[in-house]
């Protein structure tokens, strides 16, 4: 399977390593994936919507963009709040004053909150149903700082915005592949949708290997925040 015809050669405007806007991707989606120049069936707005939803889904599946956060907690605290821009994806590298905490089920947290004999906090649990509140146990034996890595909520921009705010430019075509699947599903062209789904899945495996992790759903920059 070759690259998209309208997707850039190294000399072109969509060169590998050069970021792509949603407007650029829409041109490739219409001309190369859908193979149509008319807007009679798919409007520019509808194609932009497919691209935006695809970009958001892929960002959530692979858990980016990430940021570092730190929260001050008082003695006897056993919860802390995530930054307001946190997405509903689990945390990484959670620690209390540099001591690493392990992800644990809620029953472990509830059974360990008041066990001060265990010393420093050992466990944490985050259930999105609690909103942005993360529980940890045992409770803090002293005032300290909880540090963590979290996934920020990604909001795609308009046609002039770069896909994923410029992250991972070599894989921006994944967004076009997925948007093509959505468009062909909408027009009930099952065979064409299946073809682009296969292209997407193959590229996702490459992206997964690049990130050294497994996507959460095969089908379908960093700054410090303090509170």
Domain range summary for the chain, segments of one domain joined by +: 22-63+156-222, 66-151
- pLDDT tier, 221 (very low <50, low <70, confident <90, very high otherwise): very low
Percent of the chain with pLDDT over 90: 55
pTM of the model: 0.76
Specify the pLDDT at position 37: 61
**Taking 50 as the threshold, does the pLDDT of residue 205 lie above it?**
yes
pLDDT digits (tens, 9 = 90+) for 107-163: 888 888 777 766 889 999 988 777 788 999 999 999 999 999 999 999 999 999 999
**In the 3-class helix/strand/coil scheme, how is the chain assigned residue by residue?**
CCCCCCCCCCCCCCCCCCCCEHHHHHHHHHHHHCCCCCCCCCCHHHHHHHHHHHHHHHHHHHCCCEEEEEEEECCCCCEEECCCCECCCCCEEEEECCEECEECCHHHHHHHCCCHHHCCCCEEEECHHHCCEEEEECCCCCCEEEEEEEEECCCCCCCCCEHHHHCCHHHCHHHHHHHHHHHHHHCCCHHHHHHHHHHHHHHHHHHHHHHCCCCCCCCCCCCEEEC
**Taking 70 as the threshold, does the pLDDT of residue 31 lie above it?**
yes
Mean pLDDT over 171-183 rounds to 94
């Amino acid at each position: 399977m070759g690259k998209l015809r309208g997707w850039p050669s190294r000399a072109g405007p969509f060169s590998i390593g050069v970021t792509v806007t949603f407007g650029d991707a829409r041109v490739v989606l219409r001309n190369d994936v859908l193979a149509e120049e008319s807007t009679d069936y798919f409007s520019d707005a509808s194609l932009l919507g497919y691209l935006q939803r695809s970009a958001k889904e892929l960002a959530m599946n692979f858990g980016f963009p990430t940021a570092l956060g730190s929260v001050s907690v008082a003695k006897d605290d056993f919860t802390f709040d995530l930054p307001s821009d946190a997405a509903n994806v689990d945390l990484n590298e959670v620690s209390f004053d540099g001591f690493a905490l392990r992800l644990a089920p809620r029953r472990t947290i509830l059974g360990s909150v008041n066990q001060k004999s265990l010393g420093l906090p050992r466990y944490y649990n985050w259930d999105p149903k609690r909103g942005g509140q993360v529980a940890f146990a045992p409770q803090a034996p002293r005032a300290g700082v909880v540090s963590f890595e979290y996934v920020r909520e990604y909001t795609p921009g308009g046609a002039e915005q770069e896909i994923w705010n410029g992250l991972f430019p070599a894989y921006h075509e994944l967004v076009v592949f997925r948007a093509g699947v959505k468009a062909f599903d909408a027009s009930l062209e099952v065979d064409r949708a299946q073809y682009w789904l296969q292209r997407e899945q193959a590229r996702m495996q490459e992206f997964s290997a690049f990130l050294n992790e497994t996507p959460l759903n095969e089908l379908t920059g960093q700054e410090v925040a303090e509170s």
